[in-house]
Structure 1
Amino acid sequence: MDTWMWIVLLVVVALIVAGLVFFLMKQRSSSQLKNRFGPEYDRAVDRADNRREAEDRLREVADRRDHIDVVPLTAAARRQYAADWDTIQQRFVDEPGPAVSEADELIVTVMAERGYPVDDFHERADMVAADHPDVVTHYRSAYAIRKRGPEATTEDLREAFVHYRALFDKMLHDETDDVGENRNGTPSSRRGGRHDSTR
């Protein structure tokens, strides 16, 4: 076989290997996103024009989350917030609308103390999706009901309150968060203090 034919053969083999490596890396990346985002992965794919667009967006969300230093609550803070929730829950019987609003506000306060960005609902939902994809649907549903205002029935508000409770429990008792490191294992800057939320 002539030298030029060997060269062509080697180039073809190299291209095939490169293509196979790229395919395997893409499959691995997709698998990691599916594992991290769970049902949120399917939701993103359904809402996007194509799978690549959905995966690019989820990678961007994951990257933003991984650069945030989320910390657990202290035992004292956990007890106080649990007591605050009980007070709001008791108020729901007589004033369901205000109670649902207060439940939302309490969740934002807890998220802020833990280090999550809280200035925008969609940003909060993204961060919840990155950490707790099993409850972010609850959060979106509760928020949508709350936004109906006077049009929401008492039953709607009760449903919203139950949705908020699912997220509140995660925010209150989740002990799996990184402290001082992001999810890639590299140091990240500590975000301290409470944040004000804007509705």
Structure 2
Amino acid sequence: MSTILIIVALVAVLVIVAAAVLYLGPGKGGGRRGLKRRFGPEYDRAVAGHDGDTKAAERELNERVKRHGSLKEHPLTNETRELYVAQWTVLQERFVDSPDGAVAAADQLLARLAGERGFPEAARYEEQLAALSVHHAELVGGYRRVHRAAHGQASTEELREAMVDGRALLEALVTARPEDTRGHRAGVAGIGRRVHLLKPKGSGA
């Protein structure tokens, strides 16, 4: 093979590699496919929020990763973890008599817990939500539903569903590291076993 052909072949390879890098982009796989893998339902929500403009949605999601991707979650002590689990259990029991009050308190509890784990403080809700979406993309929707139910008009069933969805994020946030779950798995998992059975007084169910 002549020198010219070798050079042409090398240039072609470099062009292909460069195109692949640009398509995939930075981060976990990068690009559209990487963002979809990383954000899951949050990706679709971002696209919908930009009226179907995928490029604008991807710019927003990439900006979230840029701002919050390096965040390291602070570990919780066993005592603190157990306290949050106990508080959530109380709120589930409170839901029977006061669904609105229970969900409002659940919203505050999740915000406080997220702040303690190192995410932006509760007073910066949108920024806290964005940071959580980077690290807990599959679960942050539950927190959003709790917050929306706590600050708007919601039916009893919507309030109940918000509590169920919010519990999943709480479980993730109170688990400091995978190796810490052995002694606490039963207690953490147990906080949600009865929530789907809770019926407010006077519901007729």
On whether the aligned pair clears a TM of 0.5, the verdict is: yes
* AA aligned opposite 1:125: L
Deviation of 1:17 (Å):
5.3
Alpha carbons 1:128, 1:136 under 8 Å: kept: yes
Question: Equivalents in 2 of 1:156, 1:32: separation in Å?
Answer: 32
1:152 aligns with 2:154: yes
Greater relative contact order structure (CA < 8 Å, 6+ sep):
1
Q: TM-score, normalised by structure 1?
A: 0.71
Structure 1's unaligned 5+ residue stretches are: 1-5, 177-199
Question: Equivalents in 2 of 1:147, 1:55: separation in Å?
Answer: 28
Question: Equivalents in 2 of 1:99, 1:47: separation in Å?
Answer: 29
Match of 2:172 among 170, 173, 183: 170
Question: Equivalents in 2 of 1:138, 1:63: separation in Å?
Answer: 23
Question: Equivalents in 2 of 1:174, 1:70: separation in Å?
Answer: 8
* Aligned residue in 1 for 2:20: 24
Alpha carbons 2:106, 2:146 under 8 Å: kept: no
* Aligned residue in 2 for 1:137: 141
Moved more, 167-176 or 88-97: 167-176
Alpha carbons 1:146, 1:160 under 8 Å: kept: no
Deviation of 1:75 (Å):
0.9
* Aligned residue in 2 for 1:40: 42
* AA aligned opposite 2:76: L
Runs of 4+ in 1 over 6 A off after TM superposition: none
Alpha carbons 1:85, 1:103 under 8 Å: kept: yes
Question: Equivalents in 1 of 2:70, 2:125: separation in Å?
Answer: 19
Match of 1:74 among 61, 72, 77: 77
Change (3 A) 1:152 1:41: closer
Alpha carbons 1:33, 1:41 under 8 Å: kept: yes
Q: TM-score, normalised by structure 2?
A: 0.69
Alpha carbons 1:100, 1:146 under 8 Å: kept: yes
Deviation of 1:125 (Å):
1.8
Matches within 5 A, 1:3-18: 14=11
Question: Equivalents in 2 of 1:34, 1:95: separation in Å?
Answer: 38
* AA aligned opposite 1:60: E
Question: Equivalents in 2 of 1:59, 1:67: separation in Å?
Answer: 13
Question: Equivalents in 2 of 1:50, 1:18: separation in Å?
Answer: 31
* Aligned residue in 2 for 1:97: 100
Aligned pair count reads 166
* Aligned residue in 1 for 2:89: 86
**RMSD after superposition:** 2.6
* Aligned residue in 1 for 2:132: 128
* Aligned residue in 2 for 1:114: 117
